[in-house]
Amino acid sequence: MKVVIMAGGKGTRISSVASDIPKPMIKIENKPVLEHEIECLRNQGFTDIILTISHLGNVIMNYFGDGSGASPVTGKPFGVQIEYFIEKEPLGNAGALFRLKDKLTEDFLLLNADAMFDVDFNRFVAYHREKGGLVTLYTHPNSHPYDSGLILADKEGSVEQWLAKEDARPNYYRNRVNAGLHVISPAVLNVEIDTPKIDLDRQLLKPLAGTGKMFCYDSPEYVKDMGTPDRYYAVCEDFKAGRVKGKNLQNKQKAVFLDRDGTINKYVGFLRHIDQFELIEGTEDAVKKINAAGYLAIVITNQPVIARGEVAFEELEEIHNKMETLLGYAGAYLDAIYYCPHHPRKGYEGERPELKFDCECRKPKPGMLIQAAKDFNIDLSQSWMIGDNENDIKAGQAAGCKTALIGDGLFGQDMTVFSLCEFADKFC
């Protein structure tokens, strides 16, 4: 599969870090960002690369050549084949694709060269092929969804809305951000656009929202742009700490599994209305510490109100959107939410019979944790389950996790804490 990397950005916002080299050549641990990207691709078998260049593009060409040489930094072969497309006039971030149509005859990866990433691309491509769409977007939660492009999708991952930064957005939304990594069918380029400068998002991809032809691939792996000096320095710290490579799903992950009611939000009994949802003070900072420590932050919650007919699936989704939005305002994020909608006992007015059975996912059974472990390659023995009651502790123990209880009680937990904040302070 060919890989097109857009490497023509000027990096105006990050010029204080390096103004005399193109943005993709800014160094992380003495090695250009673009070289880190190429290494990630090569190690997974993606070696056929086209670089689109413009601003100071000669610096990139002189460094990498055709990919057959060796790195000036490591002395090791690049191990790839590189072609270049030189933008002699501004073409936008997608105009070059139309000039390359004769080379893009099969599905291809389209990546930005101004981000640091280390992801399992084979897994990404396999998902794209499974869905059979024209485009698959790589999406993830980040620490600033309020100023990022948001992707709204249905349960099957089909993109329903694409909300750019300037677009109006709902009060509450899932923290699902477009990461700038794509798998694209060449059929996307079979459109007539009468402007020389073409915007990838607004003119090519956003119009596919709601057509059933574009999907999102959600992943917690490491993808961060370096558009500002602060974000660049944050990436440098993440790389030094091993969080960049460590988040690749080819590697075993560790997680903090979080109960919801009484752990993240104030306990009100059965939470039936979005207005009842209120974060416990300090939750945002605790989740931020979990994020920063390299743990996946995953909610594991029983929601029998669904089976009892007291809350609709759509209402629960909106409650969880509120949770993600409030956390996002503070720079915290959840990597996934798992909930059990079942309830074994019958006799409730308005109950949903199809959900009234003894399932394998309802805590204290470990089904949700085990499924999360499969989805994200989690080492359960290196993970924590934290909650405020016995069922949380038993579920964690059954899954093979370490456990922490918020509050009082002796259920064989590994530790007892006053709050999620106390847990995060001690272990993150």
Closest listed residue to residue 334, CA positions, set 293, 367, 295: 295
Closest listed residue to residue 253, CA positions, set 379, 347, 368: 379
Torsion angles phi and psi, residue 28, rounded to 5:
-115, 115
Question: Residues 187-207, buried b or exposed e (16+ Cβ, 10 A)?
Answer: ebbeeeeeeeebbbbebbbbe
Q: What is the 3-state secondary structure (H, E, C) of the chain?
A: CEEEEECCCCCHHHCCCCCCCCHHHCEECCEEHHHHHHHHHHCCCCCEEEEEECCCHHHHHHHHCCCCCECCCCCCECCCEEEEEECCCCCCCCHHHHHCCCCCCCCEEEEECCEEEECCHHHHHHHHHHHCCCEEEEEECCCCHHHCCEEEECCCCEEEEEECCCCCCCCCCCCCEEEEEEEECHHHHCCCCCCCCCCHHHHHHHHHCCCCCEEEEECCCEEEECCCHHHHHHHHHHHHCCHHHHCCCCCCECEEEECCECCCECCCCCCCCHHHCCECCCHHHHHHHHHHCCCEEEEEEECCCCCCCCCCHHHHHHHHHHHHHHHHHCCCCCCEEEEECCCCCCCCCCCCHHHCCCCCCCCCCCHHHHHHHHHHCECHHHCEEEECCHHHHHHHHHHCCEEEEECCCCCCCCEEECCHHHHHHHHC
Closest listed residue to residue 342, CA positions, set 356, 363, 326: 356
- In the set 225, 261, 335, 392, the catalytic residue is 261
Closest listed residue to residue 254, CA positions, set 381, 366, 89, 359: 381
Is 194 in the active site? Answer: no
- In the set 259, 335, 388, 392, the catalytic residue is 259
CA 352 to chain centre: 33
Closest listed residue to residue 256, CA positions, set 218, 294, 283, 223: 294
Is 259 in the active site? Answer: yes
Active site residues: 259, 261
